[in-house]
């Protein structure tokens, strides 16, 4: 299925507080739309994308495992992120493939890891390198507190994911309202 993205681009950004509406400027080039708004990072979207059955799966995964966050900021009155959390490589790769169709690459995501506390024998450095190598994410975009233990010592282990789960986050108020 082919989508012409201009049909889905809003003409303004309404922040979470709803007090200041920002006009969205659309700059058109041959194959892309550059979306800009005052005090927002611009994004570059392709004019058209082609979706296949793997993309439909990705959308379902995002509905199940993803979410949007909006945080009010004193600097620009709002910030926003899209987030996706999973431990299954196939799910993470499908999501990253889908996002790449919107010109958002794996290296654009900030990230953090949640590790079951019962797998404390795995070194943090090994976990860090595993996710960087496997998903081709940027090591410099790990969150300040990129690693957290989860669960209860001796608690039930639902998955045998020794490398934990990764949360991928892409900060863009413009993409947040687009998605």
pLDDT in single tens digits along all 179 residues of the chain: 898 888 888 877 766 555 667 788 899 999 999 988 877 778 899 999 999 999 999 999 999 999 888 765 545 445 678 999 999 999 999 999 999 999 999 999 999 999 888 888 889 999 999 999 999 999 999 999 889 887 767 666 666 688 989 999 998 878 877 77
Are the C-beta atoms of residues 157 and 107 closer than 8 Å to each other? no
Report the predicted TM-score, pTM, of the whole model to 2 decimal places.
0.86
* Tokens encoding 47: 């004019």
Rg, C-alpha atoms of the chain:
18
Distance CA 37, CA 43 (A): 10
Query: Residue 38: how many CA atoms within 13 Å on its side-chain side?
Result: 10
Ranges of H-type helices in 8-87: 53-65
Q: Which pLDDT belongs to residue 178? A: 73
């Amino acid at each position: 299925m082919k989508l012409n993205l201009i049909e889905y681009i809003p003409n303004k950004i309404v922040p979470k507080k709803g007090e200041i509406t920002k006009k969205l400027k659309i700059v058109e080039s041959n194959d892309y739309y550059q979306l800009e708004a005052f005090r927002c990072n611009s994004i570059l979207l392709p004019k058209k994308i082609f979706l296949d059955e793997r993309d439909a799966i990705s959308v379902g995964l995002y509905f199940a495992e993803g979410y949007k966050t909006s945080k009010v900021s004193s600097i620009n009155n709002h910030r926003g992120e899209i987030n996706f959390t999973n431990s299954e490589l196939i799910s993470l790769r499908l999501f990253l493939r889908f996002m790449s169709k919107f010109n958002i690459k794996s290296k654009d995501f900030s990230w953090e890891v949640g590790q079951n506390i019962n797998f404390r024998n795995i070194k943090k450095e090994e976990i860090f390198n595993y996710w960087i190598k496997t998903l081709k994410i940027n090591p410099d975009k790990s969150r300040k507190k990129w690693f957290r233990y989860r669960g209860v010592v001796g608690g039930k282990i639902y998955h045998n994911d020794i490398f934990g789960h990764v949360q991928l986050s892409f900060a863009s108020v413009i993409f947040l309202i687009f998605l």
